[in-house]
Structure 1
Amino acid sequence: MPQPAIHPVILCGGNGTRLWPLSRKSYPKQFARLMGEESLFQSTLRRVAAQDYALPMIVTGAPVRFIVAEQLAAIQMAAQDVLIEPAGRNTAPAVLAAALRLAKRDANALMLVLPSDHMIPDAEAFRQAVEAAMPRALAGDLVTFGIAPTRAETGYGWLELAAGGKANGDQPQALARFIEKPDLARAKQMLADGNFLWNAGIFLFTAKAILAAYRTHAPQMLDYVQDAVVKAQKAAGFTTLAEDPWSKVEDVSIDYAIMERAGNLAVMPYSGGWSDLGGWNAVWQESGPDGAGNVTSDRATAIDCHDTLLRSETGGVELVGIGLDDFVVVAMNDAVLVARKSDSQRVKEAVTILQAQATKQARDFTGDVRPWGRFDSLKRGKRYQVKQIVVNPGASLSLQSHRHRAEHWIVVEGTARVTVGGRVRRVRENGAVYIPQGAQHRLENPGKQPLVLIEVQTGGYLEEDDIVRYSDVYERV
């Protein structure tokens, strides 16, 4: 009998504020290249791109949906569905929405629920653990994955095995209970006891089994989410859940809503490498410090430093640390973090303060990803802004106008097709275009190479919401 397909469900929400300034709400950590040349999201996609695995279902938010699409395309992968949450409501509603979508096709579909921002270097070992957990999941159990602890970690939830359980077992074990993030003394005790695992937030179950658990433990949530799924709208390759019923859904984790209350639980121990990269200290640890305990990126130099992380994330910015001990320094073009490595969990506190001060860097970068490409703000004054715009081959911006600004475009690479008013013309390298304030205009790249241009905006208001769209291939009108 053939093995049933495993349907990965990748949860792609979250803000990753503990990894500021590299991770921000507009471009959170799962999309950043924290470890290597690919993002954590892309590494997660590759981990489940294997025989007997269906195309993944991705659950994410509207602000980052085009980043999801861009990163899928960059590694030439596809998704069976991209569900868009109208607002973040934690993991319980997200998993439920995915289960309802899958159950419409197959109530016995086997769901592997994965966060998109974890690092698991040995993909084959992880898939072997999933395979070992399959019989229990197919029998109707809710299987969670527990990580063999290597230290008295206070930043994770823990799992206590039932009496006689084996924390190093190669088969699912009986689970006694979930434990919230402990204090240090409790964490040390659990590490010494050897009967506890870290809670990885990874689950395996059938759609039928998890829906039964929601009917028992969260029936009101089931009603609202089912309504949001039934009334979902599909556009531009995304399935957007209905906003009104979704707004009534409780903001709660699947651990609290379901797992801590269910009786048909099991835990699959996993002793391979794993990290949720929940802070800069974890990034330092997983990056392989040198003999002096230092981790440095390109354009970063450590002189007489120890146990220190130095990262320069912007071309042209050289970072030099001298005589530093137990420090994290992350330099970007618009923000710099300097902190004791032992205090790196307090970065979230700093982001909260910046948000209260309405500091733009708290949540946004100077650039942004769009469905047609990306832009970066190079310079900004009181009544002007200079941007670099990159338009992907074959892509097109919306037909639009601006109430408060005029624009000057200079093509520096490629050829543009430009519409201004009723006139359409091609503009080649070194050519320039003026877009008067209020004029309808569109920019297209008809070529096979990226189109790069410099845009100079002038006017009294230069924010991104000064766009009136008339037509758009990405259905953003």
Structure 2
Amino acid sequence: MVQPVIMAGGSGSRLWPLSRTEHPKQFLSITSNETMLQQTLHRMEGLDHCAPFVICNDVHRFLVAEQLRRANVMHSGILLEPVGRNTAPAIALAAHMTQVMGDDALMLVLAADHVIKDTESFHKAVEAAIPYAQRGDMVTFGIGATSPETGYGYIKTGAAVETGGSDKGFTVDSFVEKPDLETAKQYLRDGNYLWNSGMFLFKASVYLEELAKHRPDIFEACAKAHDSHFNDLDFIRMSPELFSAIPDESIDFAVMEKTDKAVVVPMNAEWSDVGSWSALWDVNDKDDNGNATRGDVLAEDTQDSFIYSQNKLVATVGVENLIVVETKDAVLVADKDKVQDVKSIVNRLKSEGRSEYLQHREVFRPWGSHDTVSEGDRFHVKQVHVKPKEKTALQMHYHRAEHWIVVSGTAKVTKGDETFLLSENQSTYIPIGTPHAIENPGQVPLELIEVRSGSYLEEDDIVRFDEQASKFGGDY
């Protein structure tokens, strides 16, 4: 039985404007009706496995919990990273947690943001890797290269490795960084190079032994951080100070490139790490003109393009080889051959202090969501959705007042010392400095319009009064 460890960190900046720092690609539905995280979890069905560990950034904890709930997937815990420290420490902490459960399980380490179209071939590769991992090898999965891809690292295979059964694995001759185009073409002609998928299978004990051998500094720092862990509802937390002291390093550099136990098992499962818009075009279904479209799109005399509409009609005429992505607050138009440079746009947004790199106009919270409708110097208008039986934190503001108008559902309003109900078409006014909260006591979603007015409308004008608020962040 394998213990899945799902790595759900990362910002996915190359898929901006759809992917944002606070809502990256693994939490988006970009290749199906399910999110990429949910697809990864359901991909385990058919394998003999335990409930997965999920590792994510602290800021994404409620996104992960909600998506697990909606996918109806049991889990062994959601391990929170106060700061990103790359894959080697994250996997080490998951290995410690696996051992705490009393079992030296085979850890199947998967990224939450990969596309695998052929689930059956994925299962066969994992099953082929199990005998190697059981005997103490550290298995990585290599993807059969189908093109001279410059966006992936490569694994050069060595001699075949016998396990007593059918020979499916090879020694790892070397790990190779992302090549230039001519080198990638040479790798493809050579036939001994596989794409590095970033998926692994090994015993928890073997990984920790090899980490202690090759990077004792990471091993010791992870052990200290693990000793500080405690449970917070479904979440596993650790001391932020001890976690921050862990060196930042990938599993490839820390262990896999140094160990003599590395084995690569080929996998041909129509895999992609969807690391760019052109890669997303590759994995999506296309029409007769080579266009992949989602949303409200009209493509006229358009070829070999990816067109995504989130909110508006997007029409193209007489273009080819383009990426066109529309969201509620940003539009990207890029040459399909230049999409690796999208990250430079994100860096510019950061340096200019703009919010579009950080979050979408619609912001998701544990209790629901809020979407900016209009804003000016002294007013903000938001559409607020509150899920049944959920409520916002009790809070107050020093510089703004608020009007709430219920559009549908029933709102239980706390305003100062008052608590009362509002139904459709009713409203209330929250003066500056008045503690307030919204609760949905009903069985149907609550929708309301919030109008903020005042001299200062930024999210840091907030005082929270209850313990619940510390979990939510932002303005709710």
TM normalised by structure 1 equals 0.95
What is the alpha-carbon distance in structure 2 between the residues aligned to residue 14 and residue 170 of structure 1?
A: 35
* 1:290 matched residue in structure 2: 287
State the match for 2:271 in structure 1. Answer: 274
For residues 228 and 143 of structure 1, the distance between their equivalents in structure 2, rounded to whole angstroms, comes to 26
**Do residues 32 (structure 1) and 22 (structure 2) align?**
no
Give the Å deviation of 1:476: 2.8
Q: Does 1:158 align with 2:167?
A: no
Q: Which runs of 5+ in 1 are unaligned?
A: none
Alignment match, 1:105: 101
Cα deviation per residue 1:58-80 (whole Å; 9 max; x = unaligned)?
Answer: 11011111111121122222321
1:48 maps to which residue? Answer: 44
C-alpha distance in 2 between matches for 1:198 and 1:180:
10
317-326 vs 467-476, greater mean Cα deviation: 467-476
Contact kept, 8 Å, 1:399 with 1:472, in 2: the verdict is: no
2:430 maps to a residue whose letter is I
Tell which deviates more after alignment, 272-281 or 65-74. 65-74
SS in 1 for 2:88: helix
2:364 to 355, 365, 369: 369
Aligned to 2:116, the other structure's residue is in SS state: coil
User: 1:354 is paired with a residue of what secondary structure?
Assistant: helix
Alpha-carbon distance, 1:154 to partner: 0.7
- State the secondary structure of the residue aligned to 1:471: coil
User: Unpaired segments of 5 or more residues in structure 2?
Assistant: none
The aligned residue for residue 329 of structure 1 is: 324
Which residue number corresponds to residue 174 of structure 1?
Answer: 171
Letter of the 2:471 partner, please give it.
Answer: R
DSSP 3-state at the match of 2:281: helix
Write the distance in 1 (CA, Å) between the matches of 2:335 and 2:62. Answer: 35
Shift of 1:288: 2.3
Partner of residue 443, structure 2:
448
* Residues 415 and 429 in structure 1, CA contact (< 8 A), matched pair in contact too: yes
Task: Please point out which of 217, 232, 237 is paired with 2:234.
Answer: 237
Structure 2 residue identity aligned to 1:80: S
CA distance in 1, matches of 2:132, 2:455: 63
Q: State the distance in 1 between where 2:123 and 2:402 align.
A: 52
Letter in 2 for 1:79: H
Aligned partner of 1:262 among 259, 262, 284: 259
CA contact (8 A) 2:20 2:358 kept: yes
Question: Alpha-carbon deviations, 1:110-162, whole Å to 9, x = none?
Answer: 11000000001222321221111111101111100000010001100000110
Match of 1:354 among 344, 349, 358: 349
1:387 corresponds to 2:382: yes
Aligned AA (2:32) = G
Contact persistence 2:36–2:114 (CA under 8 A)? yes
Quote the Cα distance in structure 2 between the aligned partners of 1:474 and 1:47.
35
Tell me what 2:126 maps to: 130
1:374 to 1:82, Cα distance in 2 relative to 1, 3 A: same
Distance of 2:80 and 2:376 partners within structure 1: 36
Is 2:6 the partner of 1:10?
yes
User: Which residue pairs with 2:77 in the alignment?
Assistant: 81
**Percent of aligned pairs sharing the same letter:** 43
Residue among 305, 310, 330 paired with 2:307: 310
Which shifted more, 453-462 or 157-166? 157-166
Residue 340 of structure 2: aligned partner? 345
Compare 209-218 and 465-474 and name the one that shifted more: 465-474
Q: Once the 2 structures are TM-superposed, how far is the Cα of residue 463 of structure 1 from its aligned partner? A: 2.3
Secondary structure of the residue that 2:272 maps to in structure 1?
coil
SS of the residue aligned with 1:77? Answer: coil
Q: Secondary structure at the match of 1:197?
A: strand
Q: CA offset at residue 237 of structure 1? A: 2.2
Q: Contact conserved, 1:62 with 1:85, CA < 8 A, in 2?
A: yes
Q: What secondary structure is seen at the aligned counterpart in 2 of 1:375?
A: strand
Q: Name the residue aligned to 2:296.
A: 299
Contact 1:66 1:369 in 2 (8 A): no
2:355, 2:395 → 1: CA distance?
A: 25
Residue 117 of structure 2: aligned partner: 121
- The match for 2:91 among 91, 95, 118 is 95
The answer to whether the 8 A contact 1:308-1:341 is kept is yes
Q: Is the 2:217–2:247 Cα contact (8 Å) retained in structure 1?
A: no
Which residue pairs with 2:426 in the alignment? 431
**Which residue of structure 2 lines up, in the alignment, with residue 20 of structure 1?**
16
Q: CA deviation at 1:467?
A: 2.4
Give, in angstroms, the shift of residue 107 of structure 1: 4.7
Report the counterpart of residue 200 of structure 1 in structure 2: 197
Tell me if structure 2 keeps the 8 A contact 1:404–1:462.
Answer: yes
- What is the CA–CA distance in structure 2 between the aligned matches of 1:47 and 1:164, rounded to whole Å? 28
Following the alignment from structure 1 to structure 2, what is the Cα–Cα distance between the partners of residues 50 and 57?
18
Q: What is the alpha-carbon root mean square deviation over aligned residues?
A: 1.6
Pick the aligned partner of 2:464 from 443, 461, 469: 469
How far apart, in 1, do the equivalents of 2:387 and 2:119 lie? Answer: 32
Which residue of 246, 249, 253 corresponds with 1:249?
Answer: 246
Q: Which amino acid in 1 is paired with 2:182? A: A
- Relative distance call for 1:266 and 1:474 in structure 2 (3 A) is farther
Q: Which runs of 4+ in 1 moved over 6 A?
A: none
Q: Partner letter of residue 351 of structure 2? A: A
SS at match of 2:30: coil
CA distance in 2, matches of 1:109, 1:96: 13
Decide whether aligned partners of structure 1 residues 445 and 31 sit closer, same or farther in structure 2, where only a CA change above 3 A counts.
Answer: same
Q: Residue 54 of structure 2 corresponds to which residue in structure 1?
A: 58
